[in-house]
Amino acid sequence: MSLLTVTDLQISIGGVSILRDIDMSVDRGKVLGVVGESGSGKSMTAYSIMRLLPVGSKASGRIELAGKSLFGLSESDMCEVRGRDIGMIFQEPMTALNPLKSIGDQVAETISVHTTISRSEVRRLTLETLTKVGLPPDEFPLSRFPHELSGGQRQRVVIAMAIALQPKLLIADEPTTALDVTTQAQLLILLRRLVDEDGMGLILISHDLAVVANTADNIAVMRDGVVLDTGSVKNIFSDRRHPYTTELLEASTHVPVVNESELESVNPEPVNPKPVNPEPVNNAPLLEVQNLVREYKLPRGGLFKPVRYLRAVDNVSFTINRGENVALVGESGCGKSTLSRAILGLESIQGGAVYLDGQPIVYGAERSLDQYRKMQVVFQDPYGSFNPRHTVARLVAEPLFALEKKLQKPARQQAVANVLERVGLQSSDGSKYIHEFSGGQRQRIAIARALISRPSLIILDEAVSALDVSIRARVLDLLAELSGSFDIAYLFISHDLSVVRAVADRVLVMKDGSIVEQGETDAVFNSPEHPYTKKLIASVPRLAYAV
């Protein structure tokens, strides 16, 4: 008998059908991977199993855990099931954890709520569980708070909370989306080990087919609230009974292609058009970073202790040429984002220099508008980088208010309409608000905002890491087209090496604030020289059955 059986599950919210005819099962000691695009119903299926549906929802069908119907339980009984029999790992650990409580208290709370054991026994079990997930107390005291941990360490705390009472079923909703490849590999090994050692059933929800393929025993492919394809990992990849499965596989290994006909058909007039008779081509690098140093002052260890500094960026040097795509990769905490902020002039530097088009980057109020115009940024979370009270037209036009103050309103409106159409949206979308768009559409709006000033360089900080594979493929195609059309250079900051290999001309590998290896993309991936680069590449999950 299966550990979990879902039969003919139907969910509607406000009369709108969300899930239809869902059938799936999980055995003890097995992993079921649930894959599909954003909005396919993956997370809603997980919430249905946990009985955490939104107000106004209606559910029918059967969900049985170890032969017991979950739909037949009262809410108080279901509270006992959650945490004790079913554990859940949420996608974003920082929002799943209480910032005001230590990690020890949060794991202990899960245990004490569902048991009547003594405080000393709760502490013992807390220490044992955190050690089990790779957070031993001698290195990670129970008194630490979530903000004192890295993303991977916070995710381990969430896992510890979910498995503290050795639940029969564990649900992991996108547990590795925002993690670098080495941390991701460690967590996937941990989850697989917990399943094998404790005999748990695991539902692994992900948009990354490679992650699922290397961890799961069986796969369910979802789209528009329906399970389209199910089977073992090997059969799913070899049979591909549904066209959508093939579509997902192709998107997972997608290489961006510039569509020349699209470049010609949609070519909006720029705000600052290039001169009819341009100057001779300048062969000098567009961006030069020379021996860049960025340090942070640390708290004194005592009243008479010396001042200490953390060198987050240590003598980094590299160049980016016009129209070139360069990727910066490395684990969380290696200094990638700090380096990007220094390049953008958002943080002061303690050594070295940054040159844009041959001119040094000026830090502070004396910086010229031309430098702001030539360099733009696209952030990882587009929703968090927008003001939700402004329309999309106002958000996209924001750079123009600072850089083109003399531009009249009709010209500004036309520029916004042109750039929205250029990134695959409608000019009428300018009257909408950011919450009315999907994740992929929001990222296109962020790209439109960066593009409207006609920059020479765009820094993309994890710009596609949270997107599902099909949307990611379309966004990467868009970026390739824009680079070809406007001769834009990109600095891709990413932990996703599969994306880097598909889009970058050159790769910079960063570790502990230093560039440890750089070179042409194929050379770095095929013949890595530094041990750390070899470790990164070896950690990348691969679609073995898809080849």
Domains of the chain: 4-248 (3.40.50.300), 260-272+284-297+307-546 (3.40.50.300)
Residue 259: predicted pLDDT: 52
The tens digit of pLDDT for each residue in 498-533 reads 788 888 899 999 998 999 999 999 999 999 999 999
Tokens (6 digits) for 42: 């993956």
Which of the 8 DSSP states describes residue 435?
Answer: G
The dihedral through the CA atoms of 515, 519, 520, 522 has a sign that is: negative
Share above pLDDT 70 across residues of the chain, in percent, rounded to a whole number = 91
Give the per-residue pLDDT at 283: 64
Residue 274 has pLDDT above 70, yes or no: no
**pLDDT for residue 271:** 46
- CA dist 244 and 248 (Å) reads 6
Mean pLDDT in residue range 317-340: 89
CB–CB of 424/454 below 8 Å? no
**Residue (of 103, 106, 24) closest to 64 by Cα position:** 24
pLDDT at residue 458, as a whole number:
92
Q: What secondary structure, in 3-state letters, does 339-360 show?
A: HHHHHHCCCCCCEEEEEECCEE
> For residue range 480-493, what is the model confidence (pLDDT) as tens digits?
888 877 888 999 98
Pairing of strands 226-232, 218-223: antiparallel
Q: What is the pLDDT of residue 273?
A: 42
Residue 255's pLDDT band (boundaries 50, 70, 90)? low
Highest mean predicted confidence (pLDDT) among 13-17, 25-29, 206-210, 235-239: 25-29
Q: What is the pLDDT of residue 290?
A: 94
Contact 138, 185 (CB under 8 A): no
Percent of the chain with pLDDT over 90: 34
pLDDT for 263: 39
Q: Of 272, 482, 271, whose CA–CA distance to 397 is shortest?
A: 271
Q: State the Cα–Cα distance between residues 486 and 273, nearest whole angstrom.
A: 11
pTM: 0.73
Q: Report the 3 state secondary structure along 373-434.
A: HHEEEECCCCHHHCCCCCEHHHHHCHHHHHHCCCCCHHHHHHHHHHHHHHCCCCHHHHHCEH
pLDDT given for residue 496 in this prediction: 77
Contact 468, 492 (CB under 8 A): no
Per residue in 160-194, pLDDT (tens digit) is 898 888 889 999 988 877 677 777 888 888 888 88
Spatial separation of the C-alpha atoms in residues 154 and 373, rounded to whole Å: 38
Nearby residues of 130 by Cβ (< 8 Å), 6 or more positions away = 103, 104, 107, 136, 137, 140, 142, 156, 157, 160
| Tens digit of each residue's pLDDT (9 = 90 or more) over 136-161 | 888 889 999 988 887 678 888 988 89
